[in-house]
Chain A
Amino acid sequence: ETGVTQSPTHLIKTRGQQVTLRCSSQSGHNTVSWYQQALGQGPQFIFQYYREEENGRGNFPPRFSGLQFPNYSSELNVNALELDDSALYLCASSSTALVGNEQFFGPGTRLTVL
């Protein structure tokens, strides 16, 4: 069973640019959530995708957007990057069929905005 993978592992962008981060869910999982983790803080929920539609959003502006594909892989897009967007971006997959609905996290993408 393949775990959750994310790419790239590290990324450096400049303010105002756009970035796309990718996530491959664990096999059989139909839900993917994205989290942002600033240094020294716990992860913060960005949004969740279920059946290829956004299904819940945290306190993040519309320049954070995403996609979920039929194979349950996902993308996180961030437009007009700001310095405060520098963080570790985590994706987590889960299945609505799992009792307890535990989430399985990838290793994250470290984004640095200069």
Chain B
Amino acid sequence: DAKTTQPNSMESNEEEPVHLPCNHSTISGTDYIHWYRQLPSQGPEYVIHGLTSNVNNRMASLAIAEDRKSSTLILHRATLRDAAVYYCILRDGHIYTGTASKLTFGTGTRLQVTL
């Protein structure tokens, strides 16, 4: 399984932008970069995914390095509700079922948001 490296924890002030980094130096050409987050006492929640180009959705933005060996999840204005564990996951985009389609979670980055 392709591996990702994330900081164990980060802190942010409310209303400020947050940049959550992820390194994935062994990424293959068919791997998509997925981000999920897990709020306290809940199941993981899909945030965003991308392949090569930067992506935006209502929750966040994903900035992908040109060599694809790293990426950054950007929360534009952190709120207390964004306090969660954020997981960066690589997943083969050509495979939709079976073991290879599983999500391989690491320990993620625990984001704390303070007033």
Contacts and interface: CB of A to CB of B under 8 A. Distances in A.
Contacts, number: 72
Interface of A: 4, 31, 33, 35, 40-45, 48, 50, 55-58, 90, 92, 94, 96, 100-108
Nearest to A103: B103
A67 B12 CA distance: 43
Main SS class of interface, B: loop
Contacts of B87: 42
Contact of B46 (A40, A50, A55, A102): A102
Interface of B: 32, 34, 41-46, 49, 85, 87, 91, 93, 96-108
B99 to A, nearest CB: 3
Which residue of A31, A44, A105, A108 has the most chain B CB atoms within 10 A of its CB atom?
A105
Contacts of B32: 100
Nearest to A96: B96
A44 B99 contact: no
15 contacts: A42-B85, A45-B102, A45-B104, A48-B98, A50-B97, A50-B98, A56-B99, A58-B99, A101-B96, A103-B103, A104-B46, A105-B43, A105-B44, A107-B41, A108-B42
A52 B73 CA distance: 36
A8 to B, nearest CB: 15
Nearest to A95: B96
B44 A43 contact: yes
B105 A100 contact: no
Contacts of A90: 43-44
B86 to A, nearest CB: 11
Contacts of B102: 33, 45, 48, 56, 58
B30 to A, nearest CB: 13
B105 A106 contact: no
B2 to A, nearest CB: 14
Given A90-B43, A105-B43, A42 B98 contact: no
Contacts of A107: 41-43
Nearest to B46: A102
B43 A31 contact: no
